[in-house]
Amino acid sequence: MRGLARREFCLVLLRRMADVRPDLTAAALPRLGATRAEAHAAHTRWQALQHSPRAPRGLALRVAVLGPPEELEDRRFGDLDVQVRRWPLPLWPHLWWEMLTGPGGSVLNEHLVRAPGSRVPAASAGRLLVWEHVLDDVVGLPGARGVDPRVVTRWEVHLPGGVRAAFVWGLLQQVTGPGRAAFPP
């Protein structure tokens, strides 16, 4: 493998998800027609690009890997003009990769979001679907409180009743709390 593309980018995302849900990531590899060795090679290549002095940085790297975005939207947050870019990914047809960039193409945030027109599964503290719900589906629930775990790829939302929802790259990986197993059947 000489470079990266959307398929390989999915393999890179799976690498961080495997820290929490190795079962789901292993099951996802055949859906991409990938082996564990290919997933490892994609992750190694991504890391090499991240640390290479000659590789593009920030937005330029993402565009080099993912191609031109499917959607580009200008937004204003207070005094800051930002751009939102979105790309469909082959592993999750109901989700898109979203990147928020600031002046000069600096990457401010990036994660998986719901694709336009995709069905949003009903969400509540008692009904969260691993690998279906995204962060945006859960943060707006009554009593939801976002907690930054200080790892760029992760986020956690605490819900009433002691329920905790853990996300990697914006995709729900694990729900824990009273009477809930860490990994639902």
pLDDT tens-digit profile of 88-147?
999 999 999 999 999 888 899 999 999 999 999 999 988 999 999 999 999 999 999 999
Rounded Cα distance between 161 and 28, Å, is 32
CB contact at 8 A, 82 and 100: yes
Provide the pLDDT for residue 105.
84
| Residues constituting the chain | 185
> Is residue 26 scored above 70 in pLDDT?
yes
CB contact at 8 A, 168 and 15: no
Of the pLDDT bands very low, low, confident and very high (cuts 50, 70, 90), residue 180 is: low
User: Containing H/E element for 24?
Assistant: helix 22-28
Provide the pLDDT for residue 141.
95
pLDDT in tens, 100-109: 999 888 899 9
Name which of 36-40, 104-108, 171-175 the model is least confident about: 104-108
